[in-house]
Amino acid sequence: METVEMNSVSLKRPRSEDDVANADEIKRQKISEKSKTGNDSGQSVETVTDQPDKSLLEDTKNEIIPNEESEEQEDEELEDSDEDGDPESFADMMKHGLTESDVGITKFVSSHKGFSGILKERYSDFVVHEIGKDGRVSHLDDFSVPVDDEVNFEDPSEETFTVLSDEDKQRLEELQLLKNKETSVAIEVIEDTKEKRTVIHQAVKSLFPGLETKTEDRDGKKYIIAYHAAGKKALANPRKHSWPKSRGSYCHFVLYKENKDTMDAINVLSKFLRVKPNIFSYMGTKDKRAITVQEIAVLRITAQRLAHLNKCLMNFKLGNFSYKNHPLKLGELQGNHFTVVLRNITGTDGQIEQAMHSLREIGFINYYGMQRFGTTAVPTYQIGRAILQNNWNEVMDLILKPRPGAEKGYLVKCREEWAKTKDPAAALKKLPVKRCVEGQLLRGLLKYGMKNIISAFGIIPRNNRLMYIHSYQSYVWNNMVSKRIEEYGLRAVPGDLTLKGATAVHIEEGDVDNYTIHDVVMPLPGFDVIYPKHKIGEAYKEMLVADNLDINNMRHKIRDYSLSGAYRKIIIRPQNVNWEVVAYDDPRIPLFTTDLDKLEGKPLPVLPTDGKFRALKMEFSLPPSTYATMAIREVLKMDTSIKNQTQLNTTWLR
């Protein structure tokens, strides 16, 4: 699974001016959308679908959680309105969170003296470009729509998107999704011309896959009648006959997004296109608190329809359209290229040069980053351990019990109710946002009963369930790699493992000089893993025995929770490492141009040669499943946990 930093691991500061501006922009958009529909029932299309800011959901976001119930579609405003509070209170809550040492992150490989800097003071200080399997870096640099050779197929015209009223669109959407008992929707043709009727026919068929249309005379007036040609089957197989054979079935495009994670972006696009999220595919999830550029594929949606969204959406841009015969698959990318600005740095030029040279030449320890483990006093690895131990009462208790730390107010009330009553119905009533893990588990307990926790837990989307056991694997690996570095340093030793193709082999005494630390891998705990022939192998066993687990049998009676073995490099050496130190006076101004800036012709601001502040701008490329924050940690020699950073940040503000 490809993992890129989420917003929870930022060296987090209280909301900066760009966050406030972004929030105002979102509110304006919501108001605008509602005024267009004239509907306050929650069915208006909104561009904000933020999931709860739960660390439980942040690392494994490959599975899109569908919008299941109409009341849940209203959750976003509740989430947005529940603020974190003032900086001191947030920092006070985060005193209960995890530090790096709590999850085994304790060592560095470089010898330079550390210095401080602010990561993600603005979300635009962290830019990610996806690197495809062909090595090409994804960039948004073209808004044009490809032209088809087949003349019999006509893409929707601009009028298609405006010919239907908001009321017509709502009725048609309800018909398409079979939300009412109507078998058809009649749309009166006000200007009765063949051209006008054609545009309406085309608009219905383009915007609402699965619906057919016909023209009828009623009381001397012309009506376009929309109806389901094949009931529910039409939703699963939208209008195959309207797609030209010469065109690839998938429209690939580059998605540029700001301050939104990939799942949220897909949910927004699917709402606007009125299609199910599962027709989209992508190679990896990307950060929320960042600007990211990645490739997306969607089944049988034209480039013109997608390009039209550029006029409707904020924080997103779509471009570089092409038609292909295949979707995208998770994990089939080479990695990601990062452009990162660390503001208000304190290091001398010599310290910075030494730190960046070390990053380029040696690299950094390939730890799993802090976002893998959660932000509250109940780490996700503890839940994973309970699953592996088959201790389901503890799983339920760990997810639902009250805990100190930064959480939304409604979650605190839900947990208090659960502790008091152990009644899933009563606890669920305290939880307006039901798509979070707690809400899903409570609904499962209501459905299957308190004596069938396994089935209740199974209601949570599979990838989110597996995230817990992967968190435990990561916790073990982090601790073991720290022990390996402590015992043997930065050299290959006999008994280490290295990969020959997909197979791990031991480094023998006579071959050790042929290998460096960059060749060494260590296993993640799983039933098919070969363990090293030195004392680290025993350390693995001791750690798992202490957790009442058998390292030689990680099979679980529920197949999904059986840990499979894998290998992970100890040290990652970033590629394409570049850096420069720049001066600036105003922390609100950007320090480099984005793809969108370049498309819109925005010049870089003129920076002072002797500004009040200094920033380190760095670029580097990383393979999948590595964490940019761990590279930045090596440069700064700073704890990247929210617990540590919030304490620092409140001091910076004074």
| Active centre residues (catalytic) | 287
- Using alpha carbons, select from 43, 17, 48 the residue that is nearest to residue 122: 17
The helices-and-strands tally (H runs, E runs) of the chain is: 20, 18
Judge residue 372's burial from the number of C-beta atoms within 10 Å of its C-beta, 0-12 exposed, 13-18 middle, 19 or more buried.
Answer: buried
Q: Which residue reads 């030195």 in tokens?
A: 534
Determine contact, residues 65/435, Cβ cutoff 8 Å: yes
227 forms beta bridges with: 184, 212
CA-CA distances (angstroms) from residue 615 to 89, 346, 363? 28, 9, 21
Question: Which tokens is 135 given?
Answer: 């090595």
CB 131 within 8 A of CB 334: yes
Residue type, 337: H
* Burial (CB count within 10 angstroms: exposed 0-12, middle 13-18, buried 19+), residue 653: exposed
| Axis-axis angle for helices 437-448, 409-421 (nearest 10) | 30
| Residue 66: CA count within 13 A, CB half-sphere | 10
Are the C-beta atoms of residues 388 and 556 closer than 8 Å to each other? yes
DSSP state of 531: P
Name residue, tokens 């009028």: 159
Beta bridge partners of 572: 364
Distance (Å, rounded) from C-alpha 506 to C-alpha 488?
16
Answer yes or no: are the C-beta atoms of 366 and 626 closer than 8 Å.
yes
User: Contact 646/93 with Cβ under 8 angstroms?
Assistant: no
**DSSP of 43-60:** -S--S--PPP--GGGTS-
Whole-angstrom Cα distance, residue 312 to residue 314? 7
Q: Are strands 211-218 and 221-228 parallel, antiparallel or unpaired?
A: antiparallel
Would you state the structure tokens that stand for residue 334, as one six-digit string?
């080479």
615, two tokens: 């920033």
CA-CA-CA-CA torsion for 154, 159, 165, 170, nearest 10 degrees? 40
The answer to whether the CB of 98 falls within 8 A of the CB of 297 is no
